[in-house]
Amino acid sequence: MESELTADPGTQQEQARTHDGDEAQAPDELEVTLRGRAPAEAPLAQPLVELNLAEAARELRAQWTERLTRVTAAIAEAVNPGQVQAAVLEEAAAALRSASAGLWLMDAEGAARLAATCPPADDGAPALTSRDPAPAPVVDAIRTGELISVAAFVCLPLMTPGRRLGALALTFAGERELDDAERGFLLLLGRTAGQALERLGLLENEKASRARAELLYKLAAAVIGADTVEEVFEAALDAIAPALGTGRAAVLVYDADDVMRFRAWRGLSDEYRRTVEGHSPWKRDARDPQPVLVGDVDGDASLAGYQPLFRRERIGALGFIPLVSSGRLMGKFMVYYDRPRELTPTELELARAIANHVAAAVARFKSLADLQETVRFNEMFTGILGHDLRNPLAAIITSARLAMGRDTTDRLRKPLARILNSGGRMTRMIDQLLDFTRVRLGSGIPVAPVEVDLAALIRQVMDELDGANPGCPLRLSCTGDSVGRWDPDRLSQVFSNLVANAVHHGVVEHGVDVTVDGAAPELVRVSVKNRGAIPARRMQTLFEPMAGSSRRPDTSRGLGLGLFITRELVRAHGGSIQVRSERRSETAPEEIGWTSFTVSLPRRSASVAQGE
Residues 232 and 190 in one domain: no
Q: Who has greater pLDDT, 56 or 277?
A: 277
User: How far is Cα 242 from Cα 354, in angstroms, rounded to an integer?
Assistant: 12
Task: For residue range 312-328, list pLDDT tens digits in order.
Answer: 999 999 999 999 988 88
Local structure of residue 322 (DSSP, 8 states): E
Q: What band does 602 get if pLDDT is binned at 50, 70 and 90?
A: very high
- Work out the percent of the chain whose per-residue pLDDT is above 90: 23
250, 265 in Cβ contact below 8 A? yes
Domain assignment of residue 297, yes or no: yes
pLDDT over 50 (residue 387)? yes
Which pLDDT score, from 0 to 100, does residue 13 have?
A: 35
CATH number, domain containing residue 340:
3.30.450.40
Q: How many domains does the structure of the chain reveal?
A: 4
Instruction: Calculate mean pLDDT across residues 405-434.
Output: 74
Which pLDDT score, from 0 to 100, does residue 595 have?
A: 92
Lowest mean pLDDT among 92-106, 210-224, 410-424, 443-457: 410-424
Which pLDDT score, from 0 to 100, does residue 289 have?
A: 92
Which pLDDT score, from 0 to 100, does residue 507 have?
A: 87
User: How far is Cα 140 from Cα 405, in angstroms, rounded to an integer?
Assistant: 113
Local structure of residue 134 (DSSP, 8 states): P
pTM of the model: 0.49
- Boundary-marking domain end, from 315, 342, 366: 366
Residues 221 and 302 in one domain: yes
Q: Who has greater pLDDT, 378 or 579?
A: 579
Task: For residue range 513-531, list pLDDT tens digits in order.
Answer: 999 999 999 999 999 999 9
Q: What band does 52 get if pLDDT is binned at 50, 70 and 90?
A: low
Which pLDDT score, from 0 to 100, does residue 591 have?
A: 60
Domain assignment of residue 40, yes or no: yes
Q: Who has greater pLDDT, 134 or 55?
A: 134
506, 532 in Cβ contact below 8 A? yes
List C-alpha distances in Å: 224 to 229, 354, 364, 556.
11, 14, 10, 42
Start-to-end CA distance of the chain, whole Å, equals 104
Q: What band does 48 get if pLDDT is binned at 50, 70 and 90?
A: low
Residues 454 and 535 in one domain: yes
Task: For residue range 179-195, list pLDDT tens digits in order.
Answer: 888 888 888 888 888 88
Residues 524 and 542 in one domain: yes
Residues 42 and 167 in one domain: yes
Residues 466 and 377 in one domain: no
Instruction: Calculate mean pLDDT across residues 345-362.
Output: 89
Which pLDDT score, from 0 to 100, does residue 47 have?
A: 62
Which pLDDT score, from 0 to 100, does residue 443 have?
A: 61
Q: Who has greater pLDDT, 49 or 225?
A: 225
Encode burial over 449-469: b for 16+ CB neighbours within 10 A, e otherwise: beebbbbebbeebbeebeeeb
pLDDT over 50 (residue 611)? no
Antiparallel, parallel or unpaired: β 317-325 and 328-337: antiparallel
Domain assignment of residue 29, yes or no: yes
What amino acid occupies position 439?
V
> Which range among 94-103, 366-375, 389-398 has the greatest average pLDDT?
94-103
Domain assignment of residue 440, yes or no: no
Residues 173 and 232 in one domain: no
Which pLDDT score, from 0 to 100, does residue 525 have?
A: 95
Residues 17 and 78 in one domain: yes
Q: What are phi and psi of 366, to 5 degrees?
A: -65, -45
Task: For residue range 197-230, list pLDDT tens digits in order.
Answer: 888 777 777 877 787 888 888 888 888 888 888 9
- Closest C-alpha among 258, 273, 269, 265 to residue 233: 265
Task: For residue range 456-514, list pLDDT tens digits in order.
Answer: 999 998 888 876 677 889 999 999 999 999 999 889 889 988 998 898 888 888 899 99
Q: What are phi and psi of 453, to 5 degrees?
A: -90, 105
- Boundary-marking domain end, from 346, 366, 386: 366
The three-state secondary structure class of 466 is: helix
Domain assignment of residue 443, yes or no: no
Instruction: Calculate mean pLDDT across residues 63-73.
Output: 74
Neighbours of 491 (CB within 10 A): 25
Task: For residue range 551-570, list pLDDT tens digits in order.
Answer: 444 444 555 677 888 888 89
pLDDT over 80 (residue 549)? no
Residues 520 and 574 in one domain: yes
Lowest mean pLDDT among 156-160, 209-213, 258-262: 209-213
> What's the distance, CA 609 to chain centroid?
45
Local structure of residue 396 (DSSP, 8 states): H
Beta bridge partners of 102: 117, 169
45, 37 in Cβ contact below 8 A? yes
Q: Tell me what the pLDDT averaged over the chain comes to.
A: 78
Q: Is the peptide bond before 473 cis (omega within 30 degrees of 0)?
A: no
379, 437 in Cβ contact below 8 A? yes
Domain assignment of residue 347, yes or no: yes
Spatial CB neighbours of 595, under 8 Å, sequence gap ≥ 6:
502, 505, 506, 529, 530, 531, 532, 533, 534, 579, 580, 581
- Closest C-alpha among 334, 330, 327, 332 to residue 366: 330
The three-state secondary structure class of 453 is: strand
Q: What band does 398 get if pLDDT is binned at 50, 70 and 90?
A: confident
Spatial CB neighbours of 36, under 8 Å, sequence gap ≥ 6:
none
Q: Who has greater pLDDT, 372 or 343?
A: 343
Task: For residue range 166-177, list pLDDT tens digits in order.
Answer: 898 888 888 888
Residues 21 and 164 in one domain: yes
Residues 362 and 384 in one domain: no
User: How far is Cα 15 from Cα 79, in angstroms, rounded to an integer?
Assistant: 34
How many residues are there in the chain? 612
Domain assignment of residue 439, yes or no: no
Which pLDDT score, from 0 to 100, does residue 53 have?
A: 57
Which ranges of 483-590 does DSSP label H, i.e. alpha helix? 488-505, 536-539, 562-572
What amino acid occupies position 178?
L
Instruction: Calculate mean pLDDT across residues 227-256.
Output: 90
Domain assignment of residue 2, yes or no: no
Domain span including residue 325: 211-366
Which pLDDT score, from 0 to 100, does residue 485 have?
A: 93
Residues 293 and 396 in one domain: no
pLDDT over 80 (residue 63)? no
CATH number, domain containing residue 522:
3.30.565.10
Q: What band does 336 get if pLDDT is binned at 50, 70 and 90?
A: very high
